[in-house]
Amino acid sequence: MKRNSFKKEKWNFVPALIAVCVFIAMAFSSVQFIGKQRGEWEKDIRANLLETLTANKSRLEKSLYSRIYYTKGVAAYVSLHPDLDNDEFQRLSKILIKNDSVISTMALSKDCVIGSVFPEEGHEAAIGLDLMAHPQRKEIVEETIRTHQTFVAGPVELVEGGIAFISYTPIFNKKEKDEPFWGVTDIVIYRDRLFNDAQLKSSFNDFEFALQGEDGKGKEGKVFWGNPEVFKKNPVVTNIDLPTGGWILAAAPKNGWSNYLDQDNLLYYVLIISSLVISILSWLLARSLVKIKNNERELTAIFQSMQNLIFEFNKEGRYQKIAPTNQALLIMPEEKLLGKTVFDIFELELATLFHRSINECLSQNTLITIEYPLTISGNDLWFMARISKRSENTVIFNAYDITEKKRSEESIRKSESRLRELNAMKDKFFSIIAHDLKTPVGNFMNLSTLLKKEYEELDDQSKRNMLELLQQSSSEAFELLDNLLNWALSQQEVIKVERKSYNLYDLCDQSAHFLNPICLGKNINIRNEIDHETIIECDDNLTKTIIRNLISNAIKFSFDGGIIYLKSKNKTIDGQKYILLEVEDQGIGINTDKIGQLFQNDLRTVPGTKNEAGTGLGLILCKEFIEKQSGFIEVTSQPGQGSIFTVGFPI
């Protein structure tokens, strides 16, 4: 009796001993783990903080450079039009800045004396200010002239209140041989509005942020935003790149790294308490070990599965059981699935995938993961399935919906493709400004100079020929500038479509009249055969651009003495009624294999019948502008017989 009592007490003592040992081992491991992981935590926190800084850097540089490009655009324009007046500057500034609340003013300073300010109201006192008379501004202006680069100064306090950065961009007269210095253009950018636009905050969660590098001096500059103490706390930093120089964006815990990491002591206590709880559970586990062993295989398969759609299949792919989870994602009701094989339910390709994966799981005794599309209740969905072995002849098939993930991946792919396309277009855009625009303007300048010097020696026919060349160069320059401006506005997605009722005949007549001087140069006749009562719903500015580009394109590829026809008709396509505008020429035509490339964003073009230049932007604009109005554009053509461009306006 004593021996049995002793054995009973002995076995009662063993689970308790196991529990104590587990507690000691886990408590010791917890202390060691916390000590080892403290350094790793700081690395992880710094890495995450650097990602945050990188995101802030990207947004801040994007927001800042989008404003700096205003001055670069003005500088490029003025370098080719050094004689522009105040009214032209005001119009150009209004087009560029629009209602950008981050911008205070934009100024133009010929010979470093402010001559124009946009907006003028409230800033009249700045007119006549000599930038070189102020020591600090003089130093900055001299630096921009020396480096030919834009310089971001500040932040500085404004007279009217507030703090701002000033971006100076030098202008050099490209119409003169040595491209002498003309002056500068500057733009005043509100600091706080810029940072709000870039979603930049001085503190976030338990971290503080600060910026160093007044006047773009980087480490040598002053801290001009945020708490200067941040730079004394061993911060995580990243460089903000400016056209000249840069800033340093830094971040650190508000109370320093030591205090911040001490917050993890909570994890230490949690681990100790968890060790105690686990030791108790170990004691309970020791008494239930046999029962757990008997159910280990089934529990393992269940715990490997997710709580979405859970099936049990045999090796033939036959439905054995269906868990009552997310019934809405079943391809058909449960009672119709049980007892059926995957070949009875799904198409052959998908059924074969399921059957092969089930048998692969059984033969290799491993977890199999597959992805597959499926249409449920008319919705196209994507699923991921985890297949785990349950027994020698059955598997657990756990499927969950990953449609949103797939859509996100596709969206990211399209965004990356669009960004690459826009970047290529941007490079071409600047190439056009630097080269294609220079050609017609240079031709115009050379011809006009020649005509002026040798006017008395030239006969009337030579003068007419030179005037025709002048007209051609000016037309090419105007068309290029107009298309570049429209393209830039379109890419910024700032064009608002306002559809109203307009007379199609009048729109075409106005556009044809505008292009009449070009027609005279090639003796081309435009015949407007559109019904005078034809009314379309459209945005008149976008539509005039479309019509003007199509007629200009027809003139370019027509022979001397040719005829261009403007026609209209009604047509119904897939139940939608359209009014069609046709621009027909009798020119050189287009090869069939080239038609598909006309509206692509590769900006390729061929010279006209008189070697007229072009950029390829015209047809791209036509396509974008008609699609913004829910219409379409198409072309039919045969080499040597001319082309017909058709634009459809929905009724």
Residue 145 φ then ψ, to 5°: -70, -40
Residue 306, domain member (yes or no): yes
Residue 76, domain member (yes or no): yes
Q: What percentage of the chain has pLDDT greater than the value 90? A: 42
Q: Across residues 452-467, what is the average pLDDT? A: 77
Query: Looking at the DSSP assignment, which residues form a beta bridge with residue 615?
Result: none
Pair (247, 304) in one structural domain: no
Pair (208, 67) in one structural domain: yes
Q: Are strands 632-638 and 576-584 parallel, antiparallel or unpaired?
A: unpaired
* pLDDT confidence of residue 238: 95
217-223: which pairs have CB atoms within 8 A and are 24 or more residues apart?
217/245, 218/245, 218/246, 218/247, 218/248, 219/248, 221/247
As for how many domains the chain has, the answer is: 4
Pair (290, 301) in one structural domain: no
For 355, 468, 558, the CA distances from 346, given in Å and listed in that order, are 11, 72, 59
Question: Is the C-alpha dihedral spanning 74, 78, 81, 87 positive or negative?
Answer: positive
Pair (21, 95) in one structural domain: no
Residue 595, CB half-sphere, CA atoms under 13 Å: how many?
15
Here the tokens at position 345 are: 């339910």
Pair (101, 243) in one structural domain: yes
Pair (556, 637) in one structural domain: yes
Q: What is the dihedral of CA 488, 492, 494, 499, to 10 degrees?
A: 70
Pair (278, 265) in one structural domain: no
User: How much is the mean pLDDT over the chain?
Assistant: 83
Pair (279, 269) in one structural domain: no
Residues 410-431 have pLDDT tens digits of 888 888 877 777 676 666 555 5
List the strands of the sheet with 309-314, edge to edge. 319-322, 309-314, 394-401, 379-389, 368-376
In terms of pLDDT, which residue wins out, 640 or 270? 640
Query: Residue 397 and residue 357: Cα distance in Å, rounded?
Result: 10
Q: Across residues 548-573, what is the average pLDDT? A: 93
Here the tokens at position 520 are: 């005279």
In a 10 Å sphere around its CB, with 0-12 CB exposed, 13-18 middle and 19+ buried, how is residue 545 labelled? buried
* Helices of type H across 81-113: 86-97
Here the tokens at position 29 are: 């491991």
Pair (280, 342) in one structural domain: no
Pair (60, 37) in one structural domain: no
pLDDT exceeds cutoff 60 at 644:
yes
Which of 401, 426, 456 lies at the terminal end of a domain, its last residue? 401
Query: Looking at the DSSP assignment, which residues form a beta bridge with residue 649?
Result: 579
Residue 439, domain member (yes or no): no
For residue 312, give the CATH number of its domain. 3.30.450.20
**Where would I find the beta strands (DSSP E) of 56-192?**
103-110, 113-118, 151-157, 163-172, 181-190
Residues 148-183 have pLDDT tens digits of 999 999 898 887 778 999 999 999 999 888 889 999
Contact, 587 vs 610, CB < 8 A? no
For 359, 387, 403, 442, the CA distances from 345, given in Å and listed in that order, are 18, 19, 21, 73
CB burial readout 482-506, b (16+ within 10 A) else e: bbbebbeebeeeebeeebeebbbbe
Contact, 617 vs 601, CB < 8 A? no
Q: Across residues 520-534, what is the average pLDDT? A: 92
In a 10 Å sphere around its CB, with 0-12 CB exposed, 13-18 middle and 19+ buried, how is residue 468 labelled? middle
Q: At what angle do helices 460-491 and 403-431 cross, to 10 degrees?
A: 160
Contacts of 182 (CB under 8 A, 6+ apart): 78, 79, 82, 110, 111, 171, 172, 173
Which of 237, 260, 294 lies at the terminal end of a domain, its last residue? 294
* pLDDT confidence of residue 291: 58
* pLDDT confidence of residue 535: 96
Residues 337-379 have pLDDT tens digits of 999 999 999 999 999 999 999 999 999 999 999 999 999 888 8
Residue 216, domain member (yes or no): yes
CA terminus-to-terminus distance, the chain = 104
Here the tokens at position 55 are: 């995101």
For residue 602, give the CATH number of its domain. 3.30.565.10
Q: Kindly write down the DSSP assignment for every residue of 323-345, as one continuous string.
A: -SS-GGG-SS-HHHHTT-BHHHH
CB atoms inside a 10 Å sphere around CB 194: 19
pLDDT exceeds cutoff 80 at 267:
no
In a 10 Å sphere around its CB, with 0-12 CB exposed, 13-18 middle and 19+ buried, how is residue 85 labelled? exposed
**Domain carrying residue 393:** 297-401
Pair (128, 157) in one structural domain: yes
Residue 473, domain member (yes or no): no
Residue 516 φ then ψ, to 5°: -60, -40
Residue 617, domain member (yes or no): yes
Position 330 confidence tier, pLDDT thresholds 50, 70, 90: confident
Residue 161, domain member (yes or no): yes
How long a stretch of residues is the chain?
651
pLDDT exceeds cutoff 80 at 234:
yes
Here the tokens at position 293 are: 């062993």
Residue 480, domain member (yes or no): no
* pLDDT confidence of residue 461: 81
Q: Across residues 459-483, what is the average pLDDT? A: 70
Pair (159, 269) in one structural domain: yes
Query: Residue 538 and residue 630: Cα distance in Å, rounded?
Result: 10
The angle subtended at Cα 90 by Cα 87 and Cα 92, nearest 5°, is 110
Position 524 confidence tier, pLDDT thresholds 50, 70, 90: very high
Which of 401, 432, 460 lies at the terminal end of a domain, its last residue? 401
Q: Across residues 284-307, what is the average pLDDT? A: 54
For residue 171, give the CATH number of its domain. 3.30.450.350
